[in-house]
Structure 1
């Protein structure tokens, strides 16, 4: 059986080297492209299981890659699309809120966050992923079984949280959304999901201010993170 193919679209060679070193122990085939055109040519010839792309690149940007994949879904196929960029401000996050974008990962990110993202995207390893050592030490006294039990309880709760968040948005109930974001912020921090924790924190602040122009898209992004967790 062939290894899952991961396509990295990144023009910065040091970042390419970082990703390659970070993922070298995973059972994957990593292919690096320095431009959007090269990435599209690669996808036309070889299906990928995961696409990691930067946004700011010369000639054609990652935004254009996202657009092309949205217009030509056959190129993306079943691959999960992860935006891996230092430019993920609120406006960019809102712009990237598209069904075929699976995850937003901010640069710089920790080795643990990058590994967790790739492992989750490709469903590598055990059905219940292990926690990073620092997460186990900080929140679970080094007890992997305790972490696993907590994670399973969170996964059971998330569908109810999704329904609660959706209802809060429909009713424009900022108070309910703020409470939900606060709860999710803590849970995601304990799970070691830094990106999800940051989203929940931003959502909590936006809801506290009653700023629906920020809160609504932030909820959709956080909702996607929760829905994808396994």
Structure 2
């Protein structure tokens, strides 16, 4: 459990590096020798998006590993649940909660927010237009509080390979990772885990074969 919890430090350190790099580049305004090289800017943005994806995967894996439980039979009738990676800790008991609470917080923030943002952007604007509320005061205030347009280059780096109407497919890859790890966490046996993972793979292939969301045909 201690080894798993220490991995949060590397995840936070990675995110701080990303934030620091973005702030530094913003201060410098991507300028080099009086010019703004687009290739350098694009490379940095792609690198940051890749870094964020790797941090997301690691954070999801560590959080769910901490929250994985195992069944412990005590005698012929009594059954207790313990932490999978430390059988001395009763599941959600006082000792396990020291690790479980941070894991739940990370799941609710770093794991939940990225796919939610990728799913809602730019679908939220299309929804506003459909409801004819894009010019309302409430929408303007919301856009000022959450200025998604300022992070548009980062969104384009992740969603740019998809057709405009299928940009939300980028969020599905985050959800696929989450579901694959959840199948292990929630399964009592490896057979159940492999069955759920196989079903998820068939679902993924069916969805992508049906919609062909990528701009380039060979990507599909």
Name the TM-score, length of structure 2 as normaliser. 0.26
- 1 or 2, which has the higher helix percentage? 2
